[in-house]
Amino acid sequence: MKVVIVGNGPAGITAAKTIRELNPDSEIVVYSKEPHSYYFRPKLPDLLGGSIESSEIYAYSEDWYRNRTIDVRLGTTVTEISPPKEHPPLVGIGGTITTLLAMKRGLKEFASSHIHHGLLKLRDIEEQIERLKILPLEKRRLIAGLPPERADIIMAGAMILFHSLARLGSERIWVSCQGLRHGILFDRFLP
Ligand SMILES: Cc1cc2nc3c(=O)[nH]c(=O)nc-3n(C[C@H](O)[C@H](O)[C@H](O)COP(=O)(O)OP(=O)(O)OC[C@H]3O[C@@H](n4cnc5c(N)ncnc54)[C@H](O)[C@@H]3O)c2cc1C
């Protein structure tokens, strides 16, 4: 795992220290626009007033960073953070996403063989939102693929899913009828 931290104040350096404690193998890079290693801000008045030496203001020695392989790049301003261009495939589980695909496919009866491994595009979710928002509840209850007891809550779930995908910059999500426990068992017990 590679961790990039912007800023070498208390927040940045504490994050780097904690990540190193939790994961000895991660690569940790800290960028700071300041040319100085992490120093105690409250001691600044003492330094400026001349009651302490500049060496006394720093929190950690160079050895401290070296021993923890925390790579601090001083005097480097971060001007842009680019999200990864390639997304790992997203997989959705649970009632909202399986229902949205059943609605898209107009399934009169839920059949996992028609849902599991199916693909839902951002545009599909948007279409279902457009469709739902003009219908009163009693008409939503008649939509094929939408269980009547879910008709009042599907809009909220669809909005969350739509905005999550949009925020991640992802155009599509795979649909699974299996749950988180299935994934955990798979991860733990299969090679
Ligand atoms: C004189 C003084 C006395 C204080 N006394 C106290 C006290 O007694 N008790 C107390 O609780 N708090 C005190 N504070 C406040 C405390 O220092 C701050 O709350 C704390 O420093 C905030 O930590 P931080 O890591 O969130 O942010 P900061 O300390 O502001 O660190 C952010 C770092 O990110 C870097 N950075 C920002 N943007 C970029 C970029 N684009 N690229 C690269 N680097 C970037 C900055 O250069 C900076 O080094 C004092 C502050 C000062 C100045």
CATH number 2.60.40.10 is the correct assignment for the domain at 2-73: no
Pocket test for ligand 1, best of 13, 17, 32 (most atoms within 8 A of CB): 32
Q: Which two tokens stand for residue 132?
A: 């739902």
Q: Mark 151-160 as b/e (b = at least 16 C-beta within 10 Å).
A: beebbebbee
Q: Which two tokens stand for residue 145?
A: 């693929």
Cα distances from 148 to residues 24, 57, 142, 156, in angstroms, run 51, 65, 7, 15
> Using CA atoms in the order 145, 149, 151, 155, what is the torsion angle rounded to 10 degrees?
-100
DSSP at 94 = S
Residue 87: what pLDDT? 75
Q: How is domain 91-189 classified at the CATH fold level? A: Nucleotidyltransferase; domain 5 (3.30.420)
**Residues forming CATH 3.50.50.60 domain(s) in the chain:** 2-73
- Closest approach atom of ligand 1 to CA 14: 25
CA distance 114 to 144: 14
Distance 47 CA to ligand 1 centre (A): 16
Distance 148 CA to ligand 1 centre (A): 53
CA distance 132 to 147: 14
CA-closest candidate to residue 177, choices 103, 89, 117: 117
Q: Quick check: pTM over 0.85?
A: no
- Closest approach atom of ligand 1 to CA 7: 34
Please answer whether residues 21 and 65 qualify as being in contact, where contact means their C-beta atoms are separated by less than 8 angstroms.
Answer: no
Please answer whether residues 32 and 72 qualify as being in contact, where contact means their C-beta atoms are separated by less than 8 angstroms.
Answer: yes
pLDDT in tens, 1-57: 899 999 999 999 999 999 999 999 999 999 999 999 999 999 999 999 999 999 999
Distance 189 CA to ligand 1 centre (A): 46
**Residues forming CATH 3.30.420.150 domain(s) in the chain:** 91-189
> Which residue has the least CA distance to atom 34 on ligand 1?
7
Distance 12 CA to ligand 1 centre (A): 10
> Which residue has the least CA distance to atom 33 on ligand 1?
7
Q: What number of helices (H) and strands (E) belong to the chain?
A: 8, 6
Place of tokens 């059949």: 111
pLDDT in tens, 150-183: 999 999 999 999 999 999 889 999 999 998 888 8
**Residue 4: beta bridge partners?**
29
Pocket test for ligand 1, best of 30, 31, 37, 41 (most atoms within 8 A of CB): 41
Angle at 132 between CA 129 and CA 136, to 5 degrees: 155
